[in-house]
Structure 1
Amino acid sequence: MDWNDKLLKASFRGIPFAIIDVSSSHGRRNATHEYPYRDKAWVEDIGRKVRKIKLNGFLVGSSLLYKSSDIITQRDNLVAACEKMGVGTLVHPTFGELTVSVDDLTIKEGVSNGNTVEFSLSVTESGLRVFAITNIKEIESTVDNSYLSVIASVASSYISSVKMILMKSNQAIKTLVKTTGYWENSITSITDEASNLVNTVNDLFGNRKYGRYSSGDVGGHVNGVNGNVTNTDDTNDYNLLMKQKIISSILNKSKTANNLSSINGLNNAGDIDDYTKNICVGIQSILDSGLSKYDMLNAFEKLYWLQYVEYDVDNKNIIVLAMTNLYFKIIIAALFAKISAEYIPSSYDDAMSVLKRVILVLDDALLLVGNYSLDDVYIQLKQLKSDIINAVNVKGANLSHLTEVITYAPVPALTMANQLYQDANRADELIVSANPIHPAFMPTKFNALSE
């Protein structure tokens, strides 16, 4: 079989045409990292380069070659196919079927062309919005592996950076202990704030029976964003239920406090390996505090942007102070990413909001480790960022979008639910979402699910 026999009939979105020539670009995407006082750059491979294809072809009126109609109809059909929103299927003469997005279509017509139209079509190969990995457990496992790699890498870098300094300076040990004491108090304060009695009670009772300000499940709960209804049985013994919830909260706090207490007690530089491990265990104790995933996200985000500052310290102590702050912040950033992968978003907008928050933290963490030339940590953090973008996109890809609802006058929730969804039973969802003064007077402007 010769070359001509292997050629496929070219078309885009089912519109056939003849080809003069085709060009395409291929390669890898690289990020070049240049550092001060280094003669060579580190080139990071960040994936395959997007394939761009340019086809030069023509249309022939009433062609027997590809059974076409008159030339004007063919031209209009090609223009309509290229202007249609979204991706389309291109049959390439040698690559076969490709999913592409149109960048540009240039058409040339004239007397000299006769019953033909020449054109130049530029397209970019496109992928699906949902990533290749669609199994949620597999995604979370990938993020967990990246998280553990970050923890191991930053712990190793931290020990190698401060151990020699601690062996030569007792003052450096005191600086380290004061720094970790600040972080321990911050973790305790933020977790106590998130797990106070008011939040504990609000997280217990459901809003279907106990009002829109309750976010628990007892008595039933309706989600104001995605409309999901949880029908949980109510209780007849409130005292017993409250005692069980408070005891559980106290036990969780006690477990967190015990883990945090393990941070204290560095007596000499020889203990730095165990001390580094205890710091990690102390920060991870937030996972055992009984907080919801949403509260954990807020806690880790708030913790990350903290910074311990000590004045009047010498150069060696500054290194210990900076590296200890860095160690805490990288672990917190990694845990923030891990929890965001486990968090179940209520809508596509919620998923993208969480992703934006995580990327902001991870980008700052990458800048920090880059400033200290911690290349191994940088590589692991980049992988974690890639995995978390994948995870959040997959979880949010098929969720509904929020849309803005505007009315000229206040409308009852039952009427609004019937108008929007043809289902008056979804009125509770709108009430929780819009938080009106009274369900009979919905706000004239609020956000709700588009479907």
Structure 2
Amino acid sequence: MTTWRDRMMPASFRGIGFFIDSDSVPVGRKGQLHEFPQRDEPYFESLGKQSQIHTMSAFLIGADCFEQRDKLLAALEAVGAGELVHPWLGRMQVQVGSCTMKHNRQNGGMVQLDLVFYPDQPLRFPTSTVNTARQVTQASEGLLDSALSRYQTVMSKVDAARINIQALRSALSGVFAVIQRQFSPFMTIYSDVTSLVHSLVNAPLALSTMFSSFLASFEGDSSNSSQSSGTDTVNYRATISEATQQAEAVSTINQVSQASGVDTGSTAQAAADLVQDSLLVKVALVVASMPIAATVVPISATPALDQQLILPVERAQVPVADDVIELRDTLSSAIWEASLKADPEHYLALNTLRQSLIRHLNAVAASGVRLVDIKVAEPLPALVLAYRRFGDSTRSAEVVQRNRVQHPGFISPGTLKVAQE
């Protein structure tokens, strides 16, 4: 049977051994006790953990005690941190403090030492962190300026008298559908595709002015944030879903029909490019609203189910890395397709936005959790599965949505994908 004596280690510093009579080290937390007149209850203000200062009563003994002393003194006076082997606490890196050496005639052949060691903490220098969300916002502003300039340049060369109204309406049917879904405020002016066509023919710059005004006041997190205890909490799932839908819409209007004359084709393509670029700016602002998740402290104890019915578990929002990576790849592909038909100046604006989006989404994904496969051996309600897996019954909707479960009261046996947490 192993005893405490067997677990003790020979004391040493920088490889020079010595014996320890006793040692002490502060533990717990330091703080300030506040006492007030006419108050019976004092108030303790915690100031953090106690510094681990090791104070030891040590000695060297033997016929060669003076030689051992000189070696230990050299080790104690050396510059920098060294390894202390503590008999009861093990190995640690420490800095030497103010020590005392004693010689006593009555204790011949022994040198006594009072040793003080401080914990060696590496110096922490200020570090800068790249604001990837701000880079995305700046890149989107540059793309919008380039898009407006490109649109105005093309439309200034178009002869409105040569535009085939019927062909232009047919070419812009898909573009109008994107405007209807993604820029719904425009529907007060463009009730149908015919009104859009008439605007392009009679007042071509009105469309660029509307996009400029809309995006100047657009906030990517306005529809996906909820107030929680006075702070904004982003809904990652809703934001990623919205951004993915917009990224997929970008690819649907990459090219339009060019079969009805130069002026008609130029007008249709210029309008499609402007809508596409404006949608990229919008999705960039939505992505920029996704913050990098902070480090989450795990919940130490899971409340019982009946307690969760009264007071649901509050968890910090954390993105699922797999969803973020999928969004990154979808956006990157959509922007790359759009850049293939761009002039050099606009290509640079698109590529700058693509790189900034990749950097930001990589940072968001790195702060999230991955998806894992779990096997369900028996039919279970989603609520029970969420409680067993996460200790949080309110996350049943997440399980149902991610796995497209037909009924939350019955999850059939099989493999499910859930967040790794």
Q: Where on the TM-score scale, by shorter chain, does this alignment land: which range?
A: 0.3 to 0.5
TM-score when scaled to structure 1?
Answer: 0.45
Structure whose CA Rg is larger: 2
TM-score when scaled to structure 2?
Answer: 0.48
